[in-house]
Structure 1
Amino acid sequence: MARGISKLSATYVSSDNLKPGRHSDGGGLYLNVTKTGSKQWLFMWVVAGKRYEMGLGSAGKAGKAETVSLKLARDKAQEIREILGRKGDPRMEASDRKAKIVFKTFGDVADDLITDMRPSWSNPKHIAQWEMTLGDAYCAKLRKLPVQDIETEHVLQALTPIWQKKPETASRLRGRIERVLDYAKTKGLRSGDNPARWSGHLKNALPTRKKETVEHFAAMAYQDVPEFFQSLSDAMAAQALRFLILCASRSSEVLGARWEEFDLEGAVWTVPKDRMKAREEHRVPLSPQALAIVTALKEVAVGDYVFPGQQPHRPLSNMAFAMLLRRMKVDVTAHGFRSSFRDWAGDATGFPRDIAEAALAHTVGNKVEAAYRRSDALEKRRRMMVAWANYVTASRSAKVIPLRG
């Protein structure tokens, strides 16, 4: 009848060569194998000399949502033992317990997490990176497994192929898998320790990674920016890129700019904190050249976005700048123009470092210094942005004269 071992193993349970009969895991839990080879979990107990048994689900092919793993079967068995311990009837509570059990795959839970977090992630690239790393590119097998069955071996299968080849990607993937599994536990979809945790766990199973060379955003030398600026067309993407260069802003800030953020009379653009990387509101003083761009667009505006795409009520694509620069055969990134501005401010002007960093919305100093420095130095930054705009829009033949702050 019962197999004489105290504990089953996951490998044993998944074997196709088990003999028909009931195989004990100890403590009342059995794996029942029929003559046709199907496998079900049973829990057996005795009350007042009478034996009872209850089915806990199929132990069929791994990877299917309806399959009950060894781990989940043990969890269910423990619940029954607790019910018996308080003199309850597991059969009476079975329907309630069954209604609470929700089977979801890792892919389902990963998608749910991204959907729930999407409102707080302002950068479209950030969302795309989560979707890509947790998608079939790296988690094809993992996505198909019931989330309650994910073990260390499954996480390692996803990480090992890229751990040395793509160390930065692998590190982010591990953290995101850990986040998904924590999310699943919070939702009551799994229990126990997180098999993707690093400290004291995967750190002991994975080799030391090779140091990955940091790739900086390709930037244009600031001396070449005026000529490039003059070469831009009047297309919407080109006007947006002009505005980005003049304001030294990030792509996502410019592409998502809405008319409600602009004070054209005061020549100030206020980017709300939910669209800023540092989650702090950022005021951008507009130079006459930057103001001229948005003023002209305001006269023909039909939607909420300053730089609309082909559909007037939607912004330009987040690939608009990359496609424009590719067509112009310029090997730089839009983000790189922030570096061009910073190099110009440091090499060709006398503007203070903290003013230049404030223009880039970078945090300057420690928390104590930041607490005492509450002003955003708007007017000081305005003088610097006007000087930058004058430099960028100067004639190509003009002589470059270092500026003082």
Structure 2
Amino acid sequence: MTRSLTFTKATLDALPPATSGSRDTYHDSKTPGLQLRVTETGVKTFSVYRWLKGDSKPQRTTLGRYPQMTIDQARTAAAQVNAVVEGRGNPGDERRAKRASGITLREAFAEFLLARKSLSPRTVYSYERIMGLHAEEDRTDARRPKHKPRRSGASFKDWLDKPIVSITKDMVAQRHAKMGEHSPAQANGSMRVLRTVLNFAAAKYENSKGEPIIGENPVRRLSQTRAWYPVARRSTVLRQQDLKPWFAAVLALPTVDGGSQRVANAKPEDVRDYLLFLILTGARRTEAAKLRWDQVDLIARTFTFHETKNKQRHTLPLSDYLFDMLSARKEAAAGDYVFPGTGKGGYLVETRRQTAKVVEQSGVSFTLHDLRRTFITIAESLDIPAYALKRLLNHKSNNDVTAGYIVMDVERLRGPMQLITDYILRTAGLRASASVKSIGPRAERKNSPE
């Protein structure tokens, strides 16, 4: 049923519920387009029903429920909608723009994560931690990287419920400086994450004119004022004289760290073979940890990483030493992962106790990524061709036109992989000695790729 009447409190209070399965509509005789709709349960809602220029049918703009919204309030709101329509605007666009202007950092970040489905769980956790979504005492999530807790002011927790349009350049500069008191590298990394989220928000949210709600990303202030902290790239490798004691300590892990008994996240022999695999392949720590037996082909003597940093599958040959090691592991394997662990994912995550033992026994301080840098540095010192080296490391060659024409078959990499293994094992005293080249002081190879 549709009818026109003058809206008064007494009139609207007296309106009965609509008949079952229908909805009654009443037009206010004083305000163009203002309606009251009544459901079969008696719910009464104000709306504006107007034709918009260029549209094929009228559009309805919901205002609010009666009596929570009074008649005077409804007429005022309807007049505002009518003003937009008369100005050839769209009330729907105005509402969306108003909502967009109130989007908080928390909401924008949630939308960002939904749109970035390719991010790894570890990266997602790191971003969430930067935003301040994880409590400091949360120490149970296997995705989280191992690092020192962030101090107060080292995240954006207190900004989460602020509208993103309220985040100013001054706020960014001050927070960056405060973060830098604790760690310049973390300060830079946190601001890069914020910049990415705000760039996403600028592309997604618009005002009523179709313009980004963020005119300029406030993180640009750091570039404009050259405030980014100069953070030296890590360049540590195991030196030539480090390899022999390091290998001896790694190979002794099952003896010095409890035999075959599980300690923390893994058996000592699993960590032993994992460390050997890292230094003899140059693999990234997580890619190696997630290696499954169905990705290892002992007949073809190859292995393939499915989840890589550049999202491209990466197949490499096994050197003789790694083939023997993985063949022995396969015979005793009881699960899906080459390097199993007791964590939620089923693969090796925690190695700190065993690596600490290696450092203690060998006197060689190292990180897991140092092993990748060592592999790269040795490969370069052996004059491995640049294109073969890039394929071994799974580095992209987007700006290299020539590289795009070179198809590097996995068998072309078998010789270089074996050459690197032979060099490392000879230097470590595990194979017959031969002349070896110096791979340089531990902290001087600053231009080696990651």
Shorter chain as normaliser: what TM range? 0.5 to 0.7
Match of 1:193 among 207, 214, 218: 214
**Does residue 1:208 correspond to 2:226, yes or no?**
yes
Distance in 2, Cα, partners of 1:270 & 1:144: 44
- What aligned pairs does 1:246-285 form with structure 2 within 5 A after superposition? 246-272=280-306, 275-285=307-317
Quote the offset at 1:255 in angstroms: 0.8
Note if contact 1:181-1:194 (Cα within 8 Å) is conserved in structure 2.
no
How far 1:309 moved relative to its partner? Answer: 0.6
CA distance in 1 between counterparts of 2:120 and 2:319 reads: 26
Partner of 1:159: 176
In the other structure, the counterpart of 2:279 is 245
What is the distance in 1 between the residues matched to 2:305 and 2:387?
Answer: 20
Map of 1:327 onto structure 2: 357
Partners of 2:214 and 2:342 in 1: CA distance: 49
Contact 2:423–2:436 (8 Å) recurs in 1: no
| Structure with more relative contact order (C-alpha pairs < 8 Å, separation 6 or more) | 2
Residues 64-103 of structure 1: pairs in structure 2 closer than 5 A: 81-86=83-88, 97=95, 101=99
Local SS of the residue matching 1:280 = coil
Specify whether residues 165 and 300 from structure 1 end up closer, same or farther in structure 2 by C-alpha distance, changes over 3 A only.
closer
Deviation readout 1:197-243 (Å, 9 max, x if unpaired)? 455x6655xx3336524131532114432442232224212211111
| Bigger Rg, which one | 2
2:112 alignment partner in structure 1 = 113
C-alpha contact 1:107 1:144 (8 A) present in aligned 2: yes
Q: CA, structure 1 residues 230+364, in 2 after alignment: closer, same or farther (shift >3 Å)?
A: farther
Aligned residue in 2 for 1:35: none
Q: How does 1:305-344 map to 2 (within 5 A)?
A: 305-311=337-343, 314-317=346-349, 319-320=350-351, 322-329=352-359, 330-344=364-378
Q: How many residues align?
A: 315
Partner of 1:360: 393
Q: Secondary structure at the match of 1:374?
A: coil
Equivalent residues of 1:178, 1:195 under 8 A apart: no
Gap change, CA 1:177 and 1:313, over 3 Å in 2: closer
Q: How far apart, in 1, do the equivalents of 2:353 and 2:429 lie?
A: 25
Report whether the alignment pairs 1:230 with 2:248: yes
**1:70-90 CA distance string (max 9 Å, x none):** xxxxxxx997742342499x7
* Per-residue Cα deviation, 1:169-190 (whole angstroms, up to 9, x for no partner): 4444334223323434555487
Identity %: 24
Q: CA deviation at 1:129?
A: 3.4
Cα separation, 1, equivalents of 2:401 and 2:186: 34
Alignment of 1:218 onto 2:236: yes
Q: Is the 8 A contact 2:167 2:218 kept in 1?
A: no
Q: 1:401 to 1:248 in 2, by over 3 A?
A: same
2-structure distance, mates of 1:123, 1:364: 26
- Give the Cα–Cα distance (whole angstroms) in 2 for the partners of residues 365 and 401 of structure 1: 37
Residue 63 of structure 1: aligned partner: none
Amino acid at match of 1:82: V
Which deviates further from its counterpart, 179-188 or 323-332?
A: 179-188
Q: Judge conservation of contact 2:205–2:213 (CA < 8 Å) in 1.
A: no
For residue 286 of structure 1, report the CA deviation from its aligned partner.
0.3
SS of 2:106's partner is helix
Whether the aligned pair in 2 keeps the contact of 1:151 and 1:195 (CA below 8 Å) is: no
Cα separation, partners in 2 of 1:153 and 1:213, compared to 1, 3 Å:
closer
Contiguous gaps of at least 5 residues in structure 1: 1-53, 57-76
What is the TM-score normalised by the length of structure 1? 0.64
Q: Is the 8 A contact 1:175 1:196 kept in 2?
A: no
1:396 and 1:402 map into 2 onto residues whose CA distance is 12
Select 2:404's aligned residue among 349, 364, 371. Answer: 371
Query: Which among 170, 181, 186 is matched to residue 198 of structure 2?
Result: 181
* 8 A Cα contact 2:390 2:396, kept in partner: yes
Distance 1:79 1:196, change over 3 A: farther
How far does residue 285 in structure 1 lie from its aligned partner after superposition? 0.6
Aligned to 1:383: 415
CA distance in 2, matches of 1:341, 1:87: 63
TM-score normalised by length of structure 2: 0.58
Question: What is the distance in 2 between the residues matched to 1:343 and 1:198?
Answer: 36
Which whole-Å CA distance do the structure 2 matches of 1:210 and 1:184 have between them?
Answer: 22
Q: How far apart are the structure 2 equivalents of 1:128 and 1:313?
A: 15
1:133 maps to: 130
Q: Which amino acid aligns with 2:108?
A: V
Q: Report SS of the residue matched to 1:306.
A: coil
- 1: CA distance between counterparts of 2:154 and 2:344? 34
One-letter amino acid of the counterpart of residue 132, structure 1 = R
2:156 is paired with a residue whose SS is helix
Aligned position for 2:135: none
Distance 1:111 1:163 in 2: 26
Between the aligned partners of 1:250 and 1:336, the Cα distance in structure 2 is 10
Asked if 2 retains the 8 angstrom alpha-carbon contact of 1:164 and 1:209, the reply is: no
Deviation at 1:331, TM superposition (A): 1.3
Contact map agreement 2:397 2:404 (CA 8 A) in 1: no
Q: What's the CA shift for 1:268?
A: 0.7
Partner amino acid, structure 2, of 1:107: R
Counterpart of 1:214 in structure 2: which amino acid? A
State the 1:261 CA deviation.
Answer: 1.6
Decide whether aligned partners of structure 1 residues 351 and 181 sit closer, same or farther in structure 2, where only a CA change above 3 A counts.
closer
Partner of 1:71: none
Aligned residue identity for 1:239: D
TM-aligned CA distance change 1:238 to 1:202, over 3 Å: closer
